[in-house]
Amino acid sequence: MEIVSNYLLSFILFSPVVAAIIVVILPRDQDNLIRWTSFILSLIPLGLSIALWISFRPNEPGFQFQEQRIWYAPINSSYHVGVDGISLTMVLLTTLLTPLCILASFSIKDRVKSYMALFFLLEFGLLGVFLTLDLLLFFVFWEFGLVPMYFLINQWGSEGGEREIWGGRKIPARLYASFKFMIYTMAGSLGLLLAIQMIGVVAGTFDMTVLFKIWPQLNEPLFGLSASTVKAIAFWAFVIAFAIKVPVWPFHTWLPDAHTEAPTAGSMILAGVLLKLGAYGFLRLVLPLYPQQSQAYAGALGLLAVLAIIFGAFASYGQTDFKRLVAYSSVNHMGFVVLGIAAAAFAIGSENATIALNGAVLQMFNHGLSAAGMFFLVGVIYERTHTRNLNEYGGLFPLIPVYGGILIFTSMASLGLPGLNGFISEFLVVRGSWPILTVYTALAMIGLLFTGAYILKGIKMVLHGPMNEKWSGHITEINFREIVVISPLMVLMLWIGVWPAWILNVINSAVMMFYRWF
């Protein structure tokens, strides 16, 4: 067992790859065998990260469980992994959601093997981003995750729907969505790629722990421009790449398409974890590497966050497609994460900033739970009705009471009802941001009102009102497997809502220590 504890992070990171290989060599036609093997294999990273959580020492500064090995010697890039409280939370979220997603994907019938293998590769890419402490490897995993996601949307996405592209040509909506997702994100990452190359050339290393110390201090002119100009450009290159992923208004347009067309589990992981990559990029890279620039442009970032909150809520309210409604709600909720980050950037080091960051990190985790839950519930009802059109539902509560209860519970968590998780994190963000960015925070709180409106609209149109008679007798209650998928999420929502100390303890000490250096 010693080898496991010494290389715990590598075990967590590579166990999905091993799982993917095992799944690939299983016999092709044994769908059930593949499903169950995948599910059991996906519990391994979860078990390991729970062990990681338990053996993690929150009050110790710096990164823990570090491993470093040479990867690409001539450009000084190494396989360097390590966790602090922020990444630990995200690792736990990823490894928790993956088994649930796999369980939710038992209804996939087409090419189960490839599907499961891609899902494991996706988990690998996501975990890599959270675990790595090397800037080049960060980019490696950042980009690599796109590939499995592309194929998941492209091949297992929703069947119907067409989108018109230029020239009036019509293509299937899932092709459109997956292509847009891929190209949008890759194009957005170009600036990040170039900035990382530039940092590598100037600093001669990609090791984050080194870069955190030297890069903010760098003052010599670079490439004939002043250091501050170069850094400001690089800052925006980073910000745009991450803002697309979060997504911050106005870079969000790929998201409703990708979410809507992705298979249920794809949407779950997309909303649950993929969006966190962008926010994590802000926390892990932008704030430490560009403290001056972050402070200088925090107002702009805060404004975008407020617009994301307000427009996200309005757009969500305007949808008639249930899945699109939930998709826009992600724009709205992730806006709070960015608002917290912007406020913290403006007053880094202050007590309010720490509170805002606590809120932002917790909101990332919470949104991971509630968005995954919401997308799953949309998937559940879609599988039964084969429509996502809210107008075709109505009054389903008496027909499917258990599902209705779960939907209301999850929606309330998403809405931020006190006692459930969303309230804690949104309150912390607002509490921390208020003294720093008062006007923006006030506007964001008005945005919260519309959050309530669209969530109630969703509940109303699905569950209440006159019953749409065509479902009577045709719609079945949520089944046991589906309840197993949703219940861990519900337990955590309630647990964090009632007693958030266990997770805030880890996040808070990490935030206090990590941002103290700067």
Partner 1 sequence: MQFPILSIIVFTPIVAGVLILLIPAEKKTEVRMTALAAAAFALILSVWAYFSYDIPAGGYQFMETYSWVPQFGISYQVGIDGMSAPLVLLTGIVMFTGVLISWGVDDRPREFFAFLFILATGVFGVFVALDLFMLFFFYEIAVFPMYLLISIWGWKETREYAAMKLTLYLFIGSVISLVGALAMFFAAQMGTFDMLALETANYSVTFQKIVFPFVFFGFAILGGLFPFHNWSPDGHVAAPTAVSMFHAGVLMKLGAFAALRVGIMLLPEGAKFWMPWIILLTLVNVVYGAFIASVQSDFKYVIGFSSVSHMGLVAMGFAALNRNGLLGAGMQMFSHGVMTALFFAVVGMVYDRVHTRDIPRLGGFRRVMPLVALAFIVGGLVSMGMPLFSGFIAEFPIFMGVWGAQPWIAIVAAISIVITASYIIRIITKVFFGPIPEEFEGHVSDVTVLDKVALVMLSAILIVVGVYPAIMVPLVESGVNNILRLLGGA
Q: Which residues bind partner 1 (CB under 8 A)?
A: 70-75, 136, 139-141, 143-144, 147, 150, 154-155, 175, 179, 182-183, 186-187, 190, 193-194, 197-198, 200-201, 223
Closer of 190 and 300 to partner 1 (Cβ): 190
CB 324 within 8 A of CB 365: no
CA–CA dist 185, 40 (Å, integer): 32
Closer of 278 and 359 to partner 1 (Cβ): 278
Minimum distance of partner 1 from residue 473's CB (angstroms): 35
Minimum distance of partner 1 from residue 183's CB (angstroms): 6
CA–CA dist 91, 123 (Å, integer): 10
The strand pairing partners of 81, in sequence order, are 67, 132
In a 3-state reduction of DSSP, which class is residue 66? strand
Q: b or e along 41-71 (b: 16 or more beta carbons within 10 Å of the residue's beta carbon)?
A: bbebbbebbeebbeebebeeeebbbebeeeb
Q: b or e along 196-228 (b: 16 or more beta carbons within 10 Å of the residue's beta carbon)?
A: bebbbebbebbbbebbbeebbeeeeebeeeeee
CB 390 within 8 A of CB 320: yes
Closer of 138 and 515 to partner 1 (Cβ): 138
Closer of 206 and 515 to partner 1 (Cβ): 206
Closer of 25 and 54 to partner 1 (Cβ): 25
Angle of the 480-498 helix axis to the 401-415 helix axis, nearest 10: 30
Phi-psi region of 420 (alpha: psi -120 to 50; beta: other; left: phi over 0): beta
CB 78 within 8 A of CB 69: yes
Closer of 75 and 439 to partner 1 (Cβ): 75
Minimum distance of partner 1 from residue 342's CB (angstroms): 27
Minimum distance of partner 1 from residue 233's CB (angstroms): 10
Minimum distance of partner 1 from residue 201's CB (angstroms): 4
Torsion of CA 359, 279, 127, 492, to 10 degrees: 30
Closer of 237 and 463 to partner 1 (Cβ): 237
Closer of 222 and 513 to partner 1 (Cβ): 222
Closer of 244 and 462 to partner 1 (Cβ): 244
* 451: Cβ contacts below 8 Å, ≥ 6 apart: 313, 329, 332, 333, 415, 416
Minimum distance of partner 1 from residue 180's CB (angstroms): 11
Closer of 242 and 409 to partner 1 (Cβ): 242
Minimum distance of partner 1 from residue 403's CB (angstroms): 34
Closer of 183 and 402 to partner 1 (Cβ): 183
Q: How far is CA 161 from each of CA 142, 176, 375, 490, 513, rounded to the nearest angstrom?
A: 30, 10, 19, 32, 49
CA–CA dist 503, 211 (Å, integer): 28
Minimum distance of partner 1 from residue 87's CB (angstroms): 19
Minimum distance of partner 1 from residue 288's CB (angstroms): 22
Minimum distance of partner 1 from residue 237's CB (angstroms): 10
Closest to 462 measured CA to CA, from 412, 398, 417, 414: 398
Beta strand pairing status for 162-164 and 64-72?
unpaired
* 108: Cβ contacts below 8 Å, ≥ 6 apart: 115, 156, 263, 265
Chain CA centroid to CA 124, Å: 14
Minimum distance of partner 1 from residue 223's CB (angstroms): 5
Closer of 186 and 513 to partner 1 (Cβ): 186
Closer of 70 and 491 to partner 1 (Cβ): 70
The strand pairing partners of 207, in sequence order, are 134
Minimum distance of partner 1 from residue 154's CB (angstroms): 6
For residue 397, the number of C-alpha atoms closer than 13 Å in the C-beta half-sphere is 12
Minimum distance of partner 1 from residue 194's CB (angstroms): 6
CB 325 within 8 A of CB 319: yes
Q: Residue 333 CB: number of other CB atoms within 10 A?
A: 29
CA–CA dist 372, 47 (Å, integer): 20
> Residue ranges of the alpha helices (H) in 386-479?
401-415, 421-433, 438-463
State the DSSP H helix or E strand holding residue 481, giving kind and residue range, or none if neither: helix 480-498
